[in-house]
Amino acid sequence: MKGNFRSELKTVLKVAKWEFLFKTFTSVMIRGILLIIPILFSAAINYITAKDTYMTIVMLVISIILVGIYRFFEGFNYVAYYKLFNKLFSFYNDEAISLTKDNSMFSLSRFSPGQYTNMVITDVDIISTFFASGVIRVIQMIEFGVIFIYFYFIDIYIFAFSLIVTIIMLMISLRLGNKVQKLNEKRKYQLDRVTSSAYDYFGGIKEIKSFNIFDKIYPKIEDSREDYLKANAKYNTRFNCNNHAILFVFELFRLLAVIYMGLRAIEGHADVGIVLVIYNYYQKIIDNCSIVLTLNVEYRNVNVSLQRFNKIREYSSHPNGTKVLEKDTVKGEIEFNDVLYGFRDNPILNHISFKIPENSITVFSGSNETVQVGIFDLLQRLNRQHEGTITLDGIEIKDINDTNYFSLVSSVRRQTMFFDIPIKENFTMINPDFDKVVEICKMVGLDEEIMKLDKGYDTIVDENTQLTMSCKKLLVIVRMLLKESKVLLIDDVINVLEEKHEKRLMDVLMELKKDHTIIVVTHSKRIIDRADLVLDITSNSVNEVGK
């Protein structure tokens, strides 16, 4: 993980170079001023002791000016922090969302919704916070060196005493941090569980109400919540107890150091002001050690978050090919040749071969839905086969450029989603020509249904929208047609359309098949009767039912 962390550090320094420089500048200014102010107060006290009024006032005035400058840069430091944090959060969040697109459906199935949400938001927040806070942390570590050098010049015993205590306590804190990390990993796991429970509850609320099973579901939610609360409490309690125990030891040694220097001052071997500097600088050692203790845990936490986040990177397949096909020259012939897909010991497709002709309507009519879904996933490049080839016009689809391939292939799946924006925007983000949108909606009989709505095409589709299920399915079919792709994949959705909508859609598809390859999953006899080829595909065989 150390190698990964170093690599990650190089990445963030490159991504946010100027933001890091800005944060470093403001951090150096505020920490440097905080080191100078105690020395000025020390000098003022010495001048008071010497009854030098003029120099006392000078030291105090300079101190007040520095305090003002400190407050000024403290404000800038917050600005610098959030500029850096926002840049890093956006970078990681964008990367996660982008890589999600490159993950296969099989890879994504390894994450629960709660776990995925925590990775792209909570873990990204932890990673961004760690690196954004890291600048001031590094400067605080440098402060250790400055303070110890100062101690060395004023008293060798104070120097040796402070250095040995600091090293011992930091070593103890590192050992204690190993146990804290394990507690944090458990806390993360429980957080994923409780988040997933919330997702399941919200997503299944209709079924929960319908079947009146709240009393059976709630105990599972309660158990995951209680497990998380226990793990969270144990983690935070252990961390804070360790922290306070170590800081108590530092406080004790600070008092001993002040007493020692006080006795030295009484004996005339040290200035009175030095005692004040020792007290203040020891407070900085305590504060910085507290930061080190926090940093130790934060480093372990960020490693956990990076390990989780890297799963999205690890599972990303980056299937982008290099070949580009001109849409006007693509025929649309699809061939599966000896394809092995799914789990090797229980494959969905077990060395299956078949060909789908160009400019045709091909129907998959078999009863094995898993096979049909698998074929669609492969054609949409959501997953990849273990063996064999899948070609479009004789070219393996994995070798075709992503953007080019997805301009050639469009689909409508069983589980459809319409984005939570007006109907018009759902359509125009696919095809900006609104006249074309209206034309296709009229062709399938959807325009008149939309115009019956109060806001027409400006209506946002949700559960309360006064559209039939048939019309809602037509919405996503129209969206597919607007893309004007060469290959159209239509999952088992046509058979749920009202008869009038189904007839009009089939008339459209019959016209489109003149220069399109159309694949439909259905059991509807009306559609099968109009197909050019009907295939019944199982995991082991392909049967041509008819033409």
* Continuous segment of H or E residues that includes residue 543: strand 542-546
Q: How far apart are CA 340 and CA 347, in angstroms?
A: 7
Instruction: Tell me the average pLDDT of the chain.
Output: 85
pLDDT band at 319 (very low <50, low <70, confident <90, very high): low
CA angle 420, 95, 326 (to 5 degrees): 75
Phi, psi of 411 (to 5 degrees): -150, 160
Higher-confidence position of 335 and 305:
335
Query: Dihedral through CA 232, CA 237, CA 239, CA 245, nearest 10?
Result: 180
Across residues 120-139, what is the average pLDDT? 90
Q: How far apart are CA 360 and CA 533, in angstroms?
A: 8
Kindly state the greatest CA–CA separation across the chain. 111
Look at residue 3 in the predicted model and tell me its pLDDT: 47
Give yes or no for a contact between 293 and 246, defined as CB atoms under 8 angstroms apart. Answer: yes
Q: How far apart are CA 468 and CA 79, in angstroms?
A: 52
Which of 331, 332, 349, 329 lies closest to 340, judged by CA?
A: 349
Q: Look at residue 2 and tell me whether its pLDDT is greater than 60.
A: no
Q: Which of 91-105, 115-129, 355-369 is predicted least confidently? A: 91-105
Sequence-ordered list of residues with C-beta below 8 angstroms from that of 452, at least 6 positions apart, any chain: 466
Higher-confidence position of 165 and 213:
165
Q: Look at residue 442 and tell me whether its pLDDT is greater than 60.
A: yes
Look at residue 542 in the predicted model and tell me its pLDDT: 81
Query: Dihedral through CA 131, CA 132, CA 138, CA 141, nearest 10?
Result: -110
Supply the DSSP string of 139-175, one letter for each residue: HHHHHHHHHHHHHHHH-HHHHHHHHHHHHHHHHHHHH
Across residues 53-58, what is the average pLDDT? 90
Q: Which of 11-15, 126-130, 181-185, 211-215 is predicted least confidently? A: 211-215
Q: Which domains does the chain possess?
A: 2-315 (1.20.1560.10), 327-546 (3.40.50.300)
Q: How far apart are CA 241 and CA 247, in angstroms?
A: 10
Give yes or no for a contact between 12 and 131, defined as CB atoms under 8 angstroms apart. Answer: yes
Cα 229 to chain centroid distance, Å, stands at 23
pLDDT band at 354 (very low <50, low <70, confident <90, very high): very high
Look at residue 1 in the predicted model and tell me its pLDDT: 46
23, burial (CB in 10 Å: exposed 0-12, middle 13-18, buried 19+)? buried
Across residues 113-138, what is the average pLDDT? 88
pLDDT band at 546 (very low <50, low <70, confident <90, very high): low
Look at residue 210 in the predicted model and tell me its pLDDT: 62
Give yes or no for a contact between 533 and 357, defined as CB atoms under 8 angstroms apart. Answer: yes
Give yes or no for a contact between 89 and 12, defined as CB atoms under 8 angstroms apart. Answer: no
For 250-294, what is each residue's pLDDT tens digit? Answer: 788 878 888 887 888 787 777 878 888 888 887 787 777 777 767
The owner of tokens 């050639």 is 408
* Continuous segment of H or E residues that includes residue 425: helix 423-428
The owner of tokens 């001031």 is 136
Residue 27 CB coordination number (10 Å)? 21
Sequence-ordered list of residues with C-beta below 8 angstroms from that of 3, at least 6 positions apart, any chain: none
Q: How far apart are CA 351 and CA 341, in angstroms?
A: 8
In the three-class reduction of DSSP (H, G, I as helix; E, B as strand; rest coil), residue 330 is classed as: coil
Q: How far apart are CA 74 and CA 78, in angstroms?
A: 7
The owner of tokens 């600005």 is 79
Q: Look at residue 11 and tell me whether its pLDDT is greater than 70.
A: yes
Look at residue 44 in the predicted model and tell me its pLDDT: 86
Give yes or no for a contact between 93 and 116, defined as CB atoms under 8 angstroms apart. Answer: no
For 147-200, what is each residue's pLDDT tens digit? Answer: 888 888 888 888 888 888 888 877 777 777 777 778 888 887 888 888 878 877
The type of residue at 220 is K
Kindly tell me the sign of the dihedral angle through the C-alpha atoms of 50, 55, 60, 66.
Answer: negative
Which of 545, 543, 487, 547 lies closest to 354, judged by CA?
A: 543
pLDDT band at 302 (very low <50, low <70, confident <90, very high): confident
Higher-confidence position of 199 and 43:
43
In the three-class reduction of DSSP (H, G, I as helix; E, B as strand; rest coil), residue 411 is classed as: strand
% the chain with pLDDT above 90: 28
Higher-confidence position of 42 and 102:
42
